[in-house]
Amino acid sequence: MGTAKEGRWDQSLAKAYSRLDCLTRECVERGKQEEPSMEALLFSRLTRVYLEEEDVRVRQKLKRKSSQRISRVMHERVGEFLLERLPGFSFQVQDGLLFVKKEEQLVGVLKCIPDLGSYDTPSWNATIARFIKQYQKRYKLAPEQLLFVVCSLAKSLDAAHAKALTGVDVWSGTALTAPAYRDALQAYICKCVEVMDAIPKPREQLYFLSADIHPNALAAQLLLGEQGNMPDRWLQPSVSDMIHFLESRL
């Protein structure tokens, strides 16, 4: 990278981090009454993971971001985030999983999923079942030990499935993320979780953050100098619920 080009990149990166910090503060302040600050702070950290990875890609002149590195760093950051809120717990990242322990006893194993991508809502159960089968074989983990955090539902919602479960009629899954369907979307997510049988207690083992905004997409917007926005609402069950759940495990 040439000196002038490197200087422009450093400037773009610094502005992106600064704008992300501003968006995070605004989001935390806006939601203080409902205590969603934990969700905003975690989403911000996940967005920083993508900013950092893009910096690595540009400086090393790579064609694409490393999904393996993103997964490892994402789980490390989630562990750091939880450690600040769960004193006495320990967190270890191994092979794309975050092992959570207290006093050397395994409390849970967390899988952070950036998005469900091509896994539309009707196939969530099968997707989670595949993960469980994989980790049972590799680590001898029981289904009740696994927790899942989905960062964004971008591109994974299914309109026909939503109508079948809740009666809400929309022309596309993306339309479900519009403000007018806010309550309907949450009702749909709750229904999807309720009917899952891949995990014993889905409402205590599957957590969400954003309905539509993806941390990678937000990072890209910020690097381009665009306004960008943090999610203006958080899906349930969410990170706050997960922290309470982990606290209650021992």
89-114 residue pLDDT tens: 999 999 889 999 998 899 999 999 98
pLDDT of residue 7 exceeding 80, the answer is yes
Find the mean pLDDT for residues 119-142: 86
User: The tokens 């001898």 sit on which residue?
Assistant: 140
pLDDT of residue 16 exceeding 90, the answer is yes
Contact between 239 and 42 under an 8 Å Cβ cutoff? The reply is: yes
Find the mean pLDDT for residues 131-137: 91
Q: What is the pLDDT of residue 202?
A: 92
Q: What is the pLDDT of residue 29?
A: 80
Task: Tell me which range, 30-39, 104-113, 123-132, is most confidently predicted by mean pLDDT.
Answer: 104-113
Structure tokens at 109: 């194993």
Q: What is the pLDDT of residue 156?
A: 77
Q: What is the pLDDT of residue 179?
A: 84
Find the mean pLDDT for residues 112-122: 74
Q: What is the pLDDT of residue 116?
A: 72
Find the mean pLDDT for residues 18-32: 85
Contact between 147 and 110 under an 8 Å Cβ cutoff? The reply is: yes
* Of 116, 147, 104, the residue nearest 210 (C-alpha): 116
Find the mean pLDDT for residues 50-66: 94
In this structure, what are the phi and psi dihedrals at residue 108, rounded to the nearest 5 degrees?
A: 180, 165
- Above pLDDT 70, what percent of the chain? 94
pLDDT band at 117 (very low <50, low <70, confident <90, very high): low
157-187 residue pLDDT tens: 888 888 888 888 888 888 888 888 889 989 9
Buried b (16+ CB within 10 A) or exposed e, 123-160: bbbebbbebbeebeeeeebebebbbbbbbbbbebbbbe
Torsion of CA 148, 149, 155, 157, to 10 degrees: 70
Residue type, 29: E
70-89 residue pLDDT tens: 999 999 999 999 999 999 99
